Amino acid sequence: MFEASAVGIAVLDQQHHFAATNEALQKMVGYSGEELQSLGPLDITHQDDREAAQKLIEDMQNGKRQDLPTETRYRRKDNKVIWVRVSAARALDSSSSLQGIPAIIEDITERKRAEVAWHDARDALSRATRLTVMGELSASIAHEVNQPLAAIITNGQACERFLGFSPPDLDEVKDAVGEIVRDGRRASEVLKRIRAMSKNTAPERGQVDVNRAIAEVLALTRDELQRHRVAVQADLRSKLPTIMADRVQLQQVVLNLVMNGIDAMRAVTDRPRILTVRSQLNDQGSIVVNVADSGRGLDPANRDHIFESFFTTKPEGMGMGLAISNTIIEAHHGRLWAESGSPFGAVFGFTLPLAAGVSP
């Protein structure tokens, strides 16, 4: 079995050298059996992974770890880097004819490449979905930027008039300039939010204030909400702990839920159109965010499919918004769900664990 195995098998001696290796492992790393006898796992481990590999070996020798596979990188003799999955057992006892730590080494390079490709594709699709929603908001965004710009022009013209007085009314000029500065900053903040939501960069982890992220999305959609006569009720729990997350991705989820809520209430004429956004902390140590609408509610026939890719009830929809949102929340180790509202409408909610970061 040792010689015929399709996966690499090795035994490490007390000096952390390869006491024995099979042909599969030798082909995997490009060294002969004789060469490997003068080497150990640390010698062929990628420099960035050596500290973790050293600790694993020490734990195995001390009997602290048993049968816990680990993924690491090896550098072959030809200098190529491969990913391997190492499953080591406890050290062989004195009754064995071969002393040391036995290990099975599997080449998982192709699987790792596929994972990287999948993550890249997911991030590209996530950005495409985000840009689609931003496109739907283009009229609102233009209005949001034009308001402070129009105010700046008005105050600038007022300054010209005040300066034309004899003597110039400097107090009025000072007030008008102050208004110009405030409106300029307001326009800058709008553009900053738009740029953050549309940028083409890798996910960035950081400490995120969930309430502030929600407030920025509501500010970005303010004109869209007013245009569709939707009243917002924000019930955001104060002093929520910050979490390690990707702010732009979380805002993408909230933005998608808000836009879906607006769309669900377009046909409502017999009751107020109300969008309720709530944040709270549950007993399990997770932040819970709910977005509820007073729209048509969930169709029971569609409830099991709404988070599937390409499933949509909108004639012009791509069917990717909720699927991407679900992927984002899962990457944050949370959960996204939907349920019927009471007495009507729908509620979409997600959890964000305080202790969990973002998966790669």
| Model confidence at 1: pLDDT above 90 | no
If you average pLDDT over every residue of the chain, what do you get? Answer: 82
Sign of CA dihedral 282, 286, 289, 290: negative
Please give the model's pTM, rounded to 2 decimal places. 0.56
Tally of helices (H runs) and strands (E runs) in the chain: 11, 12
Q: In the CATH hierarchy, which top-level class contains the domain 118-353?
A: alpha beta
Q: H-helix or E-strand containing 134?
A: helix 109-136
Contacts of 66 (CB under 8 A, 6+ apart): 60, 89, 90
Distances (CA, A) of 176 to 154, 183, 228: 9, 11, 33
All structural domains of the chain with their residue ranges: 8-107, 118-353
- Three-state helix/strand/coil letters over 170-205: HHHHHHHHHHHHHHHHHHHHHHHHHHHHHCCCCCCC
State which of 63-72, 306-315, 348-357 shows the largest mean pLDDT: 348-357
Half-sphere exposure of 233 (CA within 13 A, CB side): 10
Convert the pLDDT of each residue in 90-147 to its tens digit: 655 555 555 677 888 999 999 988 888 877 776 766 677 667 666 766 766 676 677 7
What is the reported pLDDT for 64?
A: 67
| Model confidence at 59: pLDDT above 90 | no
pLDDT bucket at 225, cuts 50 / 70 / 90: confident
Convert the pLDDT of each residue in 260-301 to its tens digit: 899 889 888 889 999 999 999 988 889 999 999 998 887 766
Spatial separation of the C-alpha atoms in residues 259 and 253, rounded to whole Å: 10
Spatial separation of the C-alpha atoms in residues 155 and 176, rounded to whole Å: 5
| Rounded (10°) CA dihedral 174, 177, 181, 183 | 120
User: For 58-62, 81-85, 183-187, 333-337, which range has the lowest pLDDT when averaged over its residues?
Assistant: 58-62
Q: Per CATH, is 8-107 categorized as 3.30.450.20?
A: yes
Convert the pLDDT of each residue in 169-213 to its tens digit: 889 889 889 989 988 887 887 777 677 666 655 567 788 999 999
| Model confidence at 156: pLDDT above 60 | yes
